[in-house]
Amino acid sequence: MKLKFFLMLAGLLLLFTAQAQQKNNTDRIETAKGPITIQPVLHGTVALTWGGKTIYVDPYGGAAAFKGIAPPDLILITDIHGDHLDLKTLEALKTDKATLVVPQAVAEQLPASYKNRIVVLHNGQKTEQLGIDISAIPMYNLPETEDSRHTKGRGNGYLLQFADKTVYLSGDTEDIPEMRALRDIDVAFVCMNLPYTMDIDQAASAVLEFKPAIVYPYHYRGQDGLSDVEAFKRKVNEGNQNIEVRLRNWYPENAKK
């Protein structure tokens, strides 16, 4: 009886350890001024750490999704939809010391308590926060129509300059000319979920054109489930073996939209 109990206890310990390792596993990108650590969180949400500061991108999924991750010093929000601007998650997290970089449409929906910490960026504008140069670039659906899910100018993709390394965050977009024209991107986070953004063929085609050194498919849950990111990786590497495609777990089993 005791043996069964200890075996069960050991099994549970191994399970919890594996889950913790999966959750806390971070990637590391070296820069001229220290490493960037990259923590996939959920869907389009990622946490970046550099120079002792923590950046949340589109915090979503409730406080539990950020367990073990330091409170943010900077928050970037790309758009007004609930998987990007998630007020319940913002209110559940310790964000009182964080600056929020957002498009105007997001600023208009944030409660008054955030107003003195907001930096509004329109497409084409820049700011510097925590020693990071931040540029807002377009993200939108094609063809451009007034009733599209993502209209040009409403939301922001972001370029982040960490010393000598440039990180691109696509936000919700299709393979727009502004994405295809990017150059010298070290790390790219590229969305791919129909019908909201683009399919894996569009995403792979765009990536092969702007040639990031490393690309993470993220934001890949759509109406019909998860996009085939393994197929995306094959398409990219068949076209260019020098692009490193990193597949990470953006959808823990207990996560719910």
Tally of structural domains, the chain: 1
Whether 1 is covered by a domain: the verdict is no
pLDDT(9) > 70: no
pTM for the predicted model, two decimal places: 0.88
Whether 130 is covered by a domain: the verdict is yes
Q: How, if at all, do strands 126-129 and 118-120 pair?
A: unpaired
- pLDDT band (50, 70, 90) for residue 131: very high
Q: Residue 132: which domain range?
A: 28-245
Whether 196 is covered by a domain: the verdict is yes
Query: What CATH number is attached to the domain comprising 95?
Result: 3.60.15.10
Residue 127 CA to residue 110 CA, distance in Å, equals 20
Instruction: State both tokens at 31.
Output: 């820069």
pLDDT(78) > 90: yes
Give the Cβ contact number of residue 63 at 10 Å. Answer: 13
Whether 114 is covered by a domain: the verdict is yes
Per-residue pLDDT tens for 155-198? 999 999 999 999 999 999 999 999 999 999 999 999 999 889 99
Query: What is the reported pLDDT for 91?
Result: 96
Whether 11 is covered by a domain: the verdict is no
**Amino acid in the structure at residue 170:** S
27, 46 Cβ separation under 8 angstroms: no
Share of the chain above pLDDT 70, in %: 88
Whether 17 is covered by a domain: the verdict is no
Q: Provide CB contacts within 8 A for 186, sequence distance 6+.
A: 29, 165, 166, 167, 212, 213, 214
The CA-to-CA distance between both ends of the chain, in Å, stands at: 41
Three-state SS across 190-228?
Answer: EECCCCCCCCHHHHHHHHHHHCCCEEEEECCEECCEECC
pLDDT(229) > 80: yes
pLDDT(217) > 80: yes
Whether 22 is covered by a domain: the verdict is no
Residue 78 CA to residue 81 CA, distance in Å, equals 9
Whether 116 is covered by a domain: the verdict is yes
